[in-house]
Amino acid sequence: MSAVAFHDKRQELNGETARVAPKKRTLPPVIFALAVVLLLVSVSFFTSRGRPAGQIFQYQHMLMDTAVEIRFESGSSREANRLKEAVFGEMERLERLLSRSIAGSDIDLVNRQAGQQPVPVSLETLALLGEALRYARLSGGAFDPTVAPLLDRWGFLGQQYRLPSPPEIEAALRLVDYNLVGLDTGRGTVFLANAGMAVDLGGIAKGYIVDRGMEVLKEAGVRNAFINAGGDIGLIGSRPNGTPWRIGIKHPRLDQKYAGILSLSGSLAVVTSGDYERVFEHEGRRYHHILDPETGYPAASLASVTVVAPTATEADALSTTLFVIGPERGMALVESLPHVEAVLITPGMELLVSSGLADKFEPGN
């Protein structure tokens, strides 16, 4: 049986006052057998009750190794089609700039010159790398965009998974240090101090790209929309009938089941990081793609982290950060950040919900 604990210091839940310490409840067997399959997170959409709005258009496109889904209101299919091209075009442009596995991307060029010379990059790359370094400092290096050499030892980039030997891990860890990234905003260059170092923005770039896609929709005057890039969700407004968006948080161990549902509206982002995404088993142990730069091994104190924040950039960076720093420090960090909320699921399937989500989260049953 799973358990649910509400991390809630203030509010009443189901008529019972939550205590300061996280409160445990028994989670009934998860029977959220909703029809939508194989999506990390799914968003149930509109019913036509209530005020009539523009038509709803929905599109899918493969980007960043995932099926990116967008839904928005528009007055005509011609306009919707034009907008869809603009959104996906912008997202594709950014992927080509920020992905370390695309030859000629800013990040690829920086990595090739590690230990040799500073590389001029676009202002956007410079700014996002600056953000990544900010989260690195905030987390004392739990989030570290220079984790790439370690990811490569584990085979996570090319999905050729393998268990590295302890000396290999030690050698890779010597190349992981966000303090050795030289960002020269005046010259617009990035320099990695040592040969063998490499930057990977996998923990933050998808969120940024979702934000830019949302921006295209907002600038076009769209009031209700969402973008889902494999669990990195941006949303604006509400469902067209005026009720909040409903976002399912996937159960980390039970396929096609939800650990809970978030009801949210406004201009927000919801990002989930899970230990079930890129994962392999070796001698009965699971190894996944979020690595603890302190140990060199996959972070093991959480199974799933969902962060709600004003931007997907912030939610993405924080979801990876919380995954590494674990439930206690993670929840303390969330509670210290204004406008940031989280749902954490421990390896024992205990749910921890930050105070601001108490009335927006229903556990699955």
Question: Contact positions toward ligand ADP, by CB under 6 A?
Answer: 143-145, 147, 151, 156, 200, 202-203, 206, 231, 273, 277, 289-291, 293, 316, 319-320, 324
Interface segment toward Mg ion; rule CB under 5 A; list 68-76, 122-130, 233-241, 309-317: 309-317
Q: What is the DSSP string of 206-263?
A: HHHHHHHHHHHHHHTT--SEEEEETTEEEEES--TTSSPEEEEEEPSSSTT-EEEEEE
Question: DSSP secondary-structure letter at 291?
Answer: B
Residues 345-364 that bind Mg ion (CB under 5 A): none
Please, are residues 268 and 232 in contact by the beta-carbon 8 Å criterion?
no
Residue type (1 letter), 31: I
The DSSP code sequence of 125-180 is HHHHHHHHHHHHHHTTTSS-TT-HHHHHHTTTTTT------HHHHHHHHTT--GGG
Map residues 183-222 to x or -, x wherever contact with Mg ion holds by CB under 5 A: --------------------x-------------------
Residue 319 lies near Mg ion (rule: CB under 5 A): yes
Q: How far is the CB of 343 from Mg ion (least distance, A)?
A: 14
Residue 164 contacts Mg ion per CB under 5 A? no
Q: Which is nearer to Mg ion, 149 or 202 (CB)?
A: 202
x/- string (CB under 5 A) for Mg ion, residues 261-300? Answer: ------------x---------------------------
For 232-265, b/e burial (b = at least 16 CB within 10 A) is bbbbbbbbbeeeebebbbbbbbbebbbbbbbbbb
Q: How far is the CB of 145 from Mg ion (least distance, A)?
A: 11
The smaller minimum CB distance to ligand ADP, of residues 300 and 358, is found at 300
Q: What is the C-alpha separation between 160 and 252, in angstroms, rounded? A: 23
| 321 scored as a contact of Mg ion (CB under 5 A) | no
Stretch that binds Mg ion, among 18-26, 133-141, 260-268, 314-322 (CB under 5 A): 314-322
Q: Select the residue whose beta carbon is closest to ligand ADP and give its number.
A: 202
Contact 205, 98 (CB under 8 A): yes
Please, what is the minimum distance in Å from the beta carbon of residue 82 to ligand ADP? 29
Name the residue nearer to Mg ion (CB basis): 4 or 198.
198
SS3 (DSSP) at 39: coil
